[in-house]
Amino acid sequence: MKRIQGLLLTALLLGASLLPATAEETPQALALLEIRGLDSLASAGFELSKASGNAVPKEMIALGLYGALGTMPGMGIPPESTVRAMAFKSAAPRGGWALLLPVENEGADYFASLAQNGWQNETETPDGILHFVAPPGLLVPLQDVYFLKRGATLVAAGSADDVRRAEAIRPTLPPILPAEGDVVFQIRPAALAEAYGAEIGAQLDQAFQAPGAPPELAKMGRLYAQTYLAAARQVREFVLGLGVADGNFNVHSRLAPIPGSTFAAWVATVQPPAAATQVVALPDALAVETLNLGNPQLLLPAYFRFMEELLATLPSGAATAQTESYLAAEKAAYEQLAGDVGLALLPPTPESPLRLAQYVALKDAAAVRGRLPDLVKGSADMMAVLAAESEEDLPFEIKLELGEPRTYRDVAIDRLTYAFQLDGPIAEIWPAAIPTKYDIELAWVPGGALSTVGDAALTETLVDRALDGGAAPAAARPGWQALYPEPDDRLVEVADVAIFDVLRAYLALADAAKGSQLAQQVPDSPGHLATSSYVFDGLMTRLRFRLADLAAASEKAKALQAPAPSDLPMPMEPQDESGLEVEADMEAEEADRPAADEAEAAPEPPAVEAAPEAPATE
């Protein structure tokens, strides 16, 4: 699910930055921004700034928010009413925009505030659109703004035509965006692809045709652009809400498909993962995620079409036999995916700095194991083909080899060796603490496969948990439960990452190798970042992180930036009057005693007088 969201967001960012001028069409919103109360947003901003160690008063944030709208707090815009901004297709070079401002007294108070700040109402159109111009020197986003009064709402835009477009769109907008937060952003990928797909594709195509670039690069760029746009056309909306509540920084997102699309059919198959995924949720794991991928067979045809076209962009001399063999073996293995996945990162050791555990549910584990030699050979051949086609010598060579199998509790275990063979300068600078060889074990348990990176003991621990059952779910981890005391029903994904514990563990390894003290710079708390996902007319995901952990990180950063004690001026220790008198006498005696290399006529330094007695405190 996260990969799909990442693909989508890439397409959205591309689309948002490439909005060319186009002909007039029926207007529709391409993106919406919803601020659920300027005062609420100011409060959230204050809480975040305080946690980050640089507190900005709520009043100052509120002044900035209201000032950007040309007014002041209490001057026409209700503090807890929703302010909206929308983007749409228009004749402007980068598209159109509009604001929907909640106002009191049908905007009379707001317009009075504009007048107090020097704004002038220049003109009014026959359909009631007011043109206001800011006074010279006033720092506002726009000097010319057009308004249309609609009861308790003002429609504002940078042109009269955009005001009319926004007014036509306004009845089609949802009453509220479907995500929690103080500020919520919605983008509509399918509408964006429909409005600007041709222009985005053309500009991406041009971007990949750099002078001197190989022709394969342009083909690859065109393929990626087509893939992004194809994915965007499957998505009705992506909604992202940000907020502060219950001592947490909260993110709430929604990814909703176009009805009847392949993506919609796949979303309908996503369900809570089976208990078998819990095997990876070891008590000492630094990070755990369990999820269900629905029916992967619905998405795999598109994935393999992309892979085939991507491999076809290789130079004409590429070994097609190897690529075809590799894809055939990969397809056969992927057909056995059942949808459930579990992942975990375990504490590193000096002997095994990378320790990972994964569970994948399979329809027929024996069939996948039978394909393993073909998969390994196909991967090795593909890496060799790509290295041969590279115009530059690679500084390393990757080797993937299948080792001798073993058994544990009648479970077959295969071993893969993944190694980097370093050459030249990169071999000289490669840190000694980072291995260039990793052993991967695959344990073929009933209903799936366990894969581990680390040591044989980790593999055997997971096999025991898989065979014996009873493993606690990821949602039972204390760090996750603290952030989700009342979780949603039927969760399809759960993740818990102890960010500070991860940093501390790996920095401790670096400290042991270098004699440094980097691990001490990490806050003492685990720093849990936790997510949970569920299906509700799309994929809904929550992410939470404690403000207290953000504050702890800020305090550590401040402590590291503070000057060392030796760099600070020596403070004078508090002394009583008698102590000062004794010190003065000693200094006077020292002054009377001439130094050996000093002339007899050298003047004496003035005697130190005793400080007056400090007033008594109660």
Is residue 88 very low, low, confident or very high in pLDDT (cuts 50, 70, 90)? very high
Return the pLDDT at 560: 79
Per the DSSP assignment, residues forming a β-bridge with 214 are none
Distance between CA atoms of residues 285 and 301, nearest Å: 35
Q: Give the C-alpha separation, 232 to 18, whole Å.
A: 15
> Among 34-43, 379-388, 404-413, 473-482, which is the least confidently predicted range?
379-388
Q: Distance between CA 224 and CA 14 in Å, rounded?
A: 12
Task: Measure Cα distances from 199 to 32, 90, 228, 551 in Å.
Answer: 22, 14, 13, 45
Take residue 549 and report the two structure tokens written for it.
Answer: 């952990």
The answer to whether residue 505 scores a pLDDT higher than 90 is yes
What's the CA gap between 187 and 66, in Å, rounded? Answer: 25
Lowest average pLDDT, out of 37-46, 308-317, 358-367, goes to: 308-317
* Residue 247 identity: G
Structure tokens at 337: 């995916």
The DSSP result for 352-399, as a single string, is -S--EEEEEEES-HHHHHHHHHHHHHHHHHHHHHHHHH-SS--SEEEE
The answer to whether the beta carbons of residues 30 and 98 sit under 8 Å apart is: no
Mean pLDDT of 245-270: 98
Query: Contact, 154 vs 130, CB < 8 A?
Result: no
How much of the chain is helix, strand and coil, in % rounded to 5? 40, 25, 35
pTM: 0.83
3-state secondary structure of 594: coil
Q: How many angstroms separate the CA atoms of 311 and 548, rounded?
A: 48
- Tally helices (H) and strands (E) across the chain: 17, 21
Closest CA to 496 of 459, 545, 430: 545
Q: Strand 539-546 and strand 248-257: pairing?
A: antiparallel
Mean pLDDT within 440-463: 97
**What is the b/e burial string over 153-178, where b = at least 16 CB atoms within 10 angstroms of the residue's CB?**
bbbbbbbbbbbbbbbebbeebeeebb
275 within 8 A of 292, measured Cβ to Cβ: no
Spatial separation of the C-alpha atoms in residues 204 and 59, rounded to whole Å: 44
Domains of the chain by residue range: 2-207, 269-470
Going by pLDDT thresholds of 50, 70 and 90, the confidence category of residue 603 is: very low
Q: Which stretch of DSSP H or E encloses residue 62?
A: helix 58-68
pLDDT digits (tens, 9 = 90+) for 290-305: 999 999 999 999 999 9
Determine the Cα–Cα distance for residues 212 and 133; give it in Å rounded to an integer. Answer: 49
pLDDT single digits (tens) 277-291: 999 999 999 999 999
Average pLDDT over residues 126-147: 92
Cα–Cα distance between 62 and 529 in angstroms, integer?
Answer: 29
Residue with tokens 């176009």: 258
Tell me the average pLDDT of the chain.
86
Cα separation, 359 vs 187, whole angstroms = 34
| Between residues 618 and 590, the one the model is more confident about | 590
Note the pLDDT of residue 392: 62
Q: Where are the beta strands (DSSP E) in 485-607?
A: 493-498, 528-535, 539-546
Strand stretches in 183-273, DSSP E: 183-187, 235-245, 248-257
What is the β-pairing status of strands 153-157 and 144-150? Answer: antiparallel
pLDDT of residue 338 exceeding 60, the answer is yes
